[in-house]
Amino acid sequence: MNDNTHPTRSWLDSRLPFLRPFCQHMTRFPMPPVNLLWTLGACLMVAFGLMVVSGLFLSLHYQPDLAQAFDSVEAMERRVPSGWLIRSIHTGGVSLLFAALYLHVGRGLWYGSYKAPRELVWLSGLFLMLLFMTTAFAGYVLPWGQMSYWGATVITHAVEAIPGIGHGLLVYLLGEDTLGGVALHRFFILHFTLGFIIAAVVGLHILCLHGTGSSNPTLDSPHPDRTTRPFAPFYVVKDCLAVCVFLALFAGLIFFLPGLLGKLDNIIPANPLKTPTDITPEWYLAPWFAMLRAVPSRLGGLIAAATSLLVLFILPWLDQSPRHNATYRPLARMGLGLFFIAFIILILAGMNRATPLWVWLSRGAMLVWFLTFLGLLPLAAYRERQASDASTQGDAP
């Protein structure tokens, strides 16, 4: 190769010997014939990058102080040059990020990307999802508007439901009896720090992926395609194209439809003496809020919400079928289809008032959630393994 002789390259090569094999690995990484849903990872990386950069600029102007937090955010909107732009990227970006994140996880579920040998990719990804949810929750408290305050009050007080230590733990976490200045400062530090922890876990997630490679969606189809292409340039261009469309959606939302994203109550300063008529979380945390409300006991709700995430973590061991792609697994296809509908119902339920209709709908959706992962998928796996055993035995004689 020509650039072997380039003085800068050889200078770098002798000092960072891993750099060349790393670049070669990244560009020549063999990619199976994946479809457009595999570009969501690239979109997520771009969205996360935008969040970090815009967040750093916002933190230069934000005051994590009870008396100044709300005003410092208003000052960003009105007086900091381009502050409104940076803030709308940050507050709008979170919705786009979670939309891409949930589609990314949904893609992993549908195409069986959680299965051996990609368990670590799946687990690190779920851990990232939890980190993102925590970060988003902490970030939403920071503007200290009405919904920041009351949303945080409701969610932090869910901790109180833990028997015995609940109240003590809550006071320890908040630093005082109620949500106040100490807690606000802690939420700021948490939000800021988690951004960098996420960056590290993203690196881990990609490292895990590059150990085993991307899964092949065509393997279970009647016509499996085992050809691979190097990552560069074809998949680089494909990812860039998807990112372009993703950014266009992003721009459309933050520049032309900002009203869709923000809650009206959050441009009113936090008032501990005046509860808003509806306390609803942002849509991306709504499913778990709906679960907390759907279970009559507080502790039960907390356990249900935590278990709903736990079943995702043990999914690689619940579904050990050799088949990956749900398109060719009738039972899994039905189960996951119902699960996606249930997830959307839970989002809507969490965003609406807790009328009996929504509470019962969310109970039904929770039932679907647990039945899919604890019932249907293991059953599908059991039947498919039996079928494959029978076919290998049938082939043997």
Partner 1 sequence: MMRSCLRPTGMVFLAALSLAHLPATARADDPAPTQAPAAAQVAAPAAVPPTTMRPEERGLMIFQQVCSSCHSMERAHYGDMIDLQPSVTALQHWAQQRHAGLESPIASPYPSVAVGKANNGGDYPPDLSHIARTIRGGPDYIRQMLAGYRPVPPGVTLAPNTYYNPIALTHHHRFKMRPPLHEGMIAFPDGTQATIPQMASDVTAFLQWADDSHRSTRHFIGTAVLLYLALLGGILLALWRLLKKEA
Catalytic residues, by residue number, are 210, 214, 238-239, 282
Per CB under 8 A, does 247 bind partner 1?
A: yes
Q: Binding residue for partner 1 (CB under 8 A) from 36, 244, 341, 344?
A: 244
C-alpha 236/C-alpha 243 separation (Å) is: 10
Beta bridge partners of 229: 31
CB-nearer residue toward partner 1: 30 or 330: 30
Q: Does 53 bind partner 1 (CB under 8 A)?
A: no
Give the SS3 label for residue 35. Answer: coil
Which of 237, 260, 314, 387 binds partner 1 (CB under 8 A)? It is 237
256 near partner 1 (CB under 8 A): yes
Min dist CB 268 to partner 1, Å, is 6
Which residue lies nearer to partner 1 by CB, 10 or 27?
27
233 binds partner 1 (CB under 8 A): yes
Report the residue from 49, 117, 224, 258 that binds partner 1 according to the rule CB under 8 A.
258
What's the burial of 73, exposed, middle or buried (CB within 10 Å: 0-12/13-18/19+)? buried
Task: Give how many residues touch partner 1 by CB under 8 A.
Answer: 28
Contact between 324 and 111 under an 8 Å Cβ cutoff? The reply is yes
Is residue 251 a contact residue for partner 1 (CB under 8 A)? yes
Quickly list DSSP for 149-188. HHHHHHHHHGGGGSTTTHHHHHHHHHSSSSS-HHHHHHHH
71 vs 278 by CB, closer to partner 1: 71
Position 84 contacts partner 1 (CB under 8 A) = yes
Is 260 near partner 1 (CB under 8 A)?
no
CA 188 from centre of chain: 20
Six-digit token string for 278: 């509806």
Sign (positive or negative) of CA dihedral 382, 307, 316, 225:
positive
226 forms part of the interface with partner 1 (CB under 8 A):
no
- Cα distance between residue 271 and residue 149, in whole Å: 8
Residue 82: left (phi > 0), alpha (psi -120 to 50), or beta? left
Using CA atoms, how far apart are residues 364 and 342, in angstroms rounded to an integer?
Answer: 8
* Contact status: 353 vs partner 1 (CB under 8 A): no
Name which of 393, 381, 365, 266 is nearest 317 in CA terms.
381
Q: Does 229 bind partner 1 (CB under 8 A)?
A: yes
User: Binders of partner 1 among 268-297, rule CB under 8 A?
Assistant: 268
- Minimal distance, residue 303 CB to partner 1, in Å: 38
**Out of 23, 60, 116, 248, which residue is the one contacting partner 1 (CB under 8 A)?**
248
Work out whether 36 is an interface residue with partner 1 (CB under 8 A). no
Which of 182, 251 has the CB closer to partner 1?
Answer: 251
Site membership for partner 1, residue 9 (CB under 8 A):
no
Question: Residue 79 Cβ, how far from partner 1 at the closest point, in Å?
Answer: 7
74 binds partner 1, rule: CB under 8 A: yes
Q: Tell me which stretch binds partner 1 (CB under 8 A): 6-14, 73-81, 119-127, 377-385.
A: 73-81
As to burial, measured by CB atoms within 10 angstroms (0-12 exposed, 13-18 middle, 19+ buried), residue 332 is buried
Nearer to partner 1, 78 or 226 (CB): 78
Shortest spacing between CB 92 and partner 1, in angstroms: 11
169-208: burial string, b at 16+ Cβ within 10 Å, e else: ebeeebeeeebeeebbebbbebbbebbeebeebbeebeeb
Q: Least distance from C-beta 206 to partner 1, angstroms? A: 22
Answer yes or no: are the C-beta atoms of 197 and 191 closer than 8 Å: no
By CB under 8 A, name the binding residues for partner 1.
Answer: 71, 74, 78-79, 84-85, 88, 229, 233-234, 237-238, 240-241, 244-245, 247-248, 251-252, 254-256, 258-259, 264, 267-268
